[in-house]
Structure 1
Amino acid sequence: MPVVNARIAAGAVLADPDLVNVYGCAIGAEARIGPFVEIQRGASVGARCRIGANAFLCEGVTLEDDVAIGPGVMFTNDRHPRAVTAAGALMGPDDWTLETTRVGAGAVIGANATILCGLSIGAGARIAPGSVVTRDVPDGASVAGVPATSSLPSSLLNPSEAS
């Protein structure tokens, strides 16, 4: 697994450079990247971010500073993925539309969450493990479930704050 053409800022740590696939992206100062992570070209990771093992950040994903990404988190960048065109030819770069995703400063995304493309996750937002995020998440919001919503009891969204 390569590290190719990536801009990696001072103090950033790749847990094991032989066990990541990092290419054409930008990684901010003091970020920590776990093993078996893929960060594709055009993705951007802010300063002091932490990305857990087996996470996938595709082209079009931007993490602002201080974001925590749990193990196995998956981002998408194509709302209608296909292998071939209507004519049956293998799809190429001009045959689909890249949709970007922004994750605001200080947001936390729990393990095995899936983030659909074209969304904005606000600063300080919290996504519970296993959630599927299908809509924008406002600054400071906590969401959970499939699809992710904030209508769950606060004890499930914020277990440390349960009475």
Structure 2
Amino acid sequence: MSGPELHQVGIRNVSFGVGVKVVEPCNLYGCTIGDGCFIGPFTEIQKDVVIGARTRVQSHSFVCELVSIGEDCFVGHGVMFINDTFASGGPARGRKELWRETRIGSRVSIGSNATIMPVTIVDDVVIGAGSVVTKDITMAGTYAGNPARLLTLRK
């Protein structure tokens, strides 16, 4: 019987802006982190993700491929981004053509333990803790629930 294939947690091939703070352990690879960002511990940010300037990604969050997050955003503890919608009836199993992208605008705050499916979210949105965002958000405001629904419009 052979042992497991081991992969080390680490920071590899990341483009960092000026004044970025990363609290280890983190698994960051092939991504771009803008100026003045904060990345909390036990966070994974995968390749080709772009995080805008002054955005905070709190601990235990997972940001998968095909996600872009704007400037001045807040991603709470334990937020999960999803790129595989199981469109074929099960996991894509690495078939990237089945994955979908997520685009988060600027000044978006996402509460702890929210799940963000492949969607587009405009600027100036608040997502409540524990919410599940399943559809595009096209108007600034506060959203919460499963599925996330508009609570109040932003003026």
Map 1:102-141 to 2 at 5 A. Answer: 102-117=103-118, 119-141=119-141
* Residue ranges of structure 1 left out of the alignment (5+ in a row): 85-90, 159-163
Spell out the pairing of 1:67-86 with structure 2 (5 A cutoff).
Answer: 67-80=73-86, 82=90
What are the residue-to-residue correspondences of 1:38-53 with 2, within 5 Å? 38-53=44-59
**Match of 2:21?**
13
* 1:55 aligned residue (51, 55, 61): 61
1:65-89 deviation per Cα after TM superposition (whole angstroms, max 9, x unaligned): 11100000000001117458xxxxx
Q: Which structure 2 residue ranges, 5 or more long, are not aligned?
A: 1-8
Q: Tell which deviates more after alignment, 5-14 or 133-142.
A: 133-142
Q: 3-state DSSP class of the match of 1:47?
A: coil
State the Cα RMSD in Å: 1.9
Shift of 1:97: 1.6
- The TM-score normalised by the length of structure 2 is 0.86
SS in structure 1 at match of 2:149: coil
Contact 2:84–2:91, Cα closer than 8 Å, also in 1: no
**Structure number having the greater helix percentage:** 1
Equivalent residues of 1:125, 1:138 under 8 A apart: no
- Deviation of 1:92 (Å): 3.8
User: Normalized per residue, which structure has more strand?
Assistant: 2
The runs of at least 4 consecutive aligned structure 1 residues that moved more than 6 Å come to: none
